[in-house]
Structure 1
Amino acid sequence: MSTPPKRATNVSKCYSPVILPQSPATVSSHKNLTGLPRVARDIVADLFNNIQRWNDNHIRGANLAKSIAQLKTNNINDYSNILENLTSDLYNVVQTLSGICEAFDFLSNQMKSLIKLHKKTTPLFISMQDEQLAEFIDAISTAYKGEFKVKKFVLENIAHARNKNEIMFYAICWAHQQNINLETNIKLEALLTETGHRKIV
């Protein structure tokens, strides 16, 4: 009968630890970070701040769309001053969202230009390739621009809905942002973590 092989008693001698380089975002504070990493970090911060602005206006628009839906549900032929004011307020929200989409485009182009300037073979930070930074920002920008088209569609149609089902459809279209999905949010979190805005716990 053969004897079982002996288990290794000192595994640590077999492997040497892997030491990863530190990201400039963790070595330096935001104040001291310089050069292209600082520019990239600022671009991601601006992206995040514009998404927060989008969220505020999305909620405001959802409340307005709900009010319009309630008004039209009570009287499908309602074209009162109240409806006009609500629609005007929703128009202003959509205009603000349009400006935010322009900011997303600008930030996406900024990151693409920054990547072209980075001539070193090492990445700007640590885990993501430079091209990934640009790809993620572009994907996020595309998602929000797709959602903007939905918001604009709702604005153009909700006050002229012909029945209750149509009204509810438009209100739901505004509320449920189908283009901004889990993948979009994961990409945002990855960018925030990579550039040092989110701490790894």
Structure 2
Amino acid sequence: MDSPRHGNLTGNPRKVKDTAVELYTVSTLWKNHRDEGIELIRQITELKLQWLEEKVKRQELENQMQLLCDKLETTYYKLEKLVQKLDILTSHMEGMAKLEEYQEKNKIGRFANIDESDTSHMFLTWPTRRFYDACQQIQMCYKEEIEAKKIIAENVAHSTTKDDLVFYMSAWGHDPFITDRCCLLLESFLCETGHR
């Protein structure tokens, strides 16, 4: 079976290839917004440490802290929108996988002339279901990470120890739930669709 990844793609192959680009875009934007958040948390940490060392008056702390917290909240909402985008992409991939499985089961559409031993791969080696599975796993990593970011954003300004503040800054920047496996799945998705 020839791979439909060259030339002008249409239908599901086009949608899958576009999804790969959108996943990469989400990943890139996530890193940018995460870095914005690191800088804001660094500023919050510095301000809180100055206050703990009594180098800043309470009124000055409250005014600056409110501004920084508002900016951090805005950054968090940008990250949350990216997770919502992943939800939509995953839903679309699920629909394509289910439709293709239905068509294959009933031998309609592009599966009408395929014998039982043939397995359909949209690009190199992955069937549509594998694209959906990868997208879903990526989505779940980002969903877990956004929950951690929410806790950090809600609590960093209330921290009263240097250790807590440093922990929040590290946890925000590290993205512990966006695992190496998640990054590998994204890279594989891009390779499989011919973007790498």
For 1:104-183, what aligned pairs fall within 5 Å after superposition? 104-118=86-100, 119=103, 120=111, 121-183=119-181
Distance between the aligned counterparts of 1:35 and 1:129, measured in 2?
Answer: 15
Distance between the aligned counterparts of 1:46 and 1:24, measured in 2?
Answer: 19
Higher relative contact order (CA 8 A, sep 6+): 2
Secondary structure of the 1:75 match is helix
Structure with larger Rg? 1
Distance between the aligned counterparts of 2:165 and 2:11, measured in 1?
Answer: 51
Distance between the aligned counterparts of 2:88 and 2:72, measured in 1?
Answer: 25
The answer for unaligned runs of 5 or more in structure 2 is 104-110, 112-118
Aligned to 1:24: 4
Match of residue 62, structure 1, among 19, 38, 47:
38
Secondary structure of the 1:23 match is coil
Q: Contact between 1:133 and 1:191, CA under 8 Å: does it hold in 2?
A: yes
Q: Contact between 2:69 and 2:157, CA under 8 Å: does it hold in 1?
A: yes
Aligned to 1:84: 66
More helix by share: 2
Per-residue Cα deviation, 1:42-77 (whole angstroms, up to 9, x for no partner) = 112111111111111011001101111111112138
User: Deviation at 1:129?
Assistant: 2.4
User: Deviation at 1:134?
Assistant: 0.5
The answer for unaligned runs of 5 or more in structure 1 is 1-20
Between 1:145-154 and 1:123-132, the stretch displaced more is 123-132
Scaled by the length of structure 2, what TM-score is found?
0.84
Between 1:57-66 and 1:68-77, the stretch displaced more is 68-77
Scaled by the length of structure 1, what TM-score is found?
0.82
User: What is the percent sequence identity of the aligned residues?
Assistant: 29
Distance between the aligned counterparts of 1:67 and 1:175, measured in 2?
Answer: 14
